[in-house]
Amino acid sequence: MNSLSGFRPVSLIATINEQGVSNLGVFSNIVHLGADPALIAFINRPREAAPHTIRNIEIRGKYTINHIHPAFVEKAHQCSAKYPDGVNEFHEVGLTPDYKDDFNIPYVAESRVQMGLELSEIIPLKNGTFLVVGNLVNAYVSEEALGNDGFINLAKTDSLVSLGLDGYYQVNPLQRFTYAKPDKAPGIIPF
Amino acid sequence: MNSLSGFRPVSLIATINEQGVSNLGVFSNIVHLGADPALIAFINRPREAAPHTIRNIEIRGKYTINHIHPAFVEKAHQCSAKYPDGVNEFHEVGLTPDYKDDFNIPYVAESRVQMGLELSEIIPLKNGTFLVVGNLVNAYVSEEALGNDGFINLAKTDSLVSLGLDGYYQVNPLQRFTYAKPDKAPGIIPF
């Protein structure tokens, strides 16, 4: 059932708890809400199932979202293990915290697409999950992904998608089309 | 900016308006909210930008979500053109409405993963967008995607993801891992 909605953009979300210990969790239900202001949201499961990330975001008001690529997918998946509160997943799985620009929450140094977010709102949904909405305040993207027209080609960062609870997939360009208009067929844009 | 959140599961959402005319729209901000009850949500842009789908869902309380694969990606992209209200995109772009099981809203016959949903709630978000939450009541998946363990491998249906406003991508299996536990490294599961 949890595969039906389709492939998902899988990322590591980094937070820091009240005692200053870093936390990393795997999240894949992530949506783009708008460009101006730049808002990205994700679904946090019910607190009893996934308590640390949402609580740390409530405490600190800040977090980072970091794309996953094949070189560290196994370490990233290991972050989905239920470590006790106060365990630093960076240390446990062997990923590198990357502090920069006074953001005070670590990015994942190994990641090619890193985003810093400030909490906008947390909306509880009827089934016990939460929509966590953040303002994008910082973004770092590997240079190879930047196209001439501002298009960011995440196939060049090899950013992964996931399916179900345990399947990771790579993504390859198929086709870019021109802006669709009612009176004519779409044209092709090179990647 | 709208690429940063990652690749998205791109689908056609079919609805019917008050006069009984079908509508198809392209949506890619789709999230799985939970398995029990089975809930899937999507983001509808502000009403002035994307008025038809959300209004039809409010009127009828039902809609279908249909995965896109390469054979009809150009027709699917053409559904993102701003056709006037009351234009039937099935006819305009050459896709086939598929009525079944007394659901009264068409599926896209060409699609290999078809879902029928009943509206659960519509949550207005601060930036003018809406989170539209639906109960999954019907699902049809091509047989080739069904694995022995209940895993649905959407690489076999060639379900696409999208990036930005106009990029469509294919997806290939990289790795499946066992359920992660704190005390050991994850194992590999065959696809």
Q: How far apart are CA A169 and CA A103, in angstroms?
A: 31
What's the ipTM? 0.94
Q: A137 touching B, CB under 8 A?
A: no
Q: Do A164 and B175 touch (CB under 8 A)?
A: no
Contact in structure between A135 and A37 (CB atoms under 8 Å):
yes
Q: Do B74 and A154 touch (CB under 8 A)?
A: no
Q: What is the structure's pLDDT at B104? A: 95
pLDDT digits (tens, 9 = 90+) for A118-149: 999 999 999 999 999 999 999 999 988 887 77
Pairs of residues, one from chain A and one from chain B, whose beta carbons lie less than 8 Å apart: 247
Q: What is the structure's pLDDT at A121? A: 96
Kindly tell me the sign of the dihedral angle through the C-alpha atoms of B166, B167, B170, B176: negative
Q: What is the structure's pLDDT at A145? A: 87
Q: Is the confidence at residue B21, as pLDDT, over 80? A: yes
Q: Is the confidence at residue B150, as pLDDT, over 80? A: no
Q: Is the confidence at residue B148, as pLDDT, over 80? A: no
- Chain A 32-91, residues with CB within 8 Å of chain B CB atoms: 32-35, 37-41, 43, 65, 67, 70, 73-74, 77-84, 87
Q: A159 touching B, CB under 8 A?
A: yes
Q: How far apart are the first and last CA of chain B?
A: 33
Q: Do A176 and B168 touch (CB under 8 A)?
A: yes
Q: What is the structure's pLDDT at A148? A: 76
pLDDT digits (tens, 9 = 90+) for B62-119: 999 999 999 999 999 999 999 999 999 999 999 999 999 999 999 999 999 999 999 9
The pTM for the full model equals 0.96
pLDDT-derived band at B149, boundaries 50, 70, 90: confident
Contact in structure between A13 and A65 (CB atoms under 8 Å):
yes
pLDDT digits (tens, 9 = 90+) for A7-45: 999 999 999 999 999 999 999 999 999 999 999 999 999
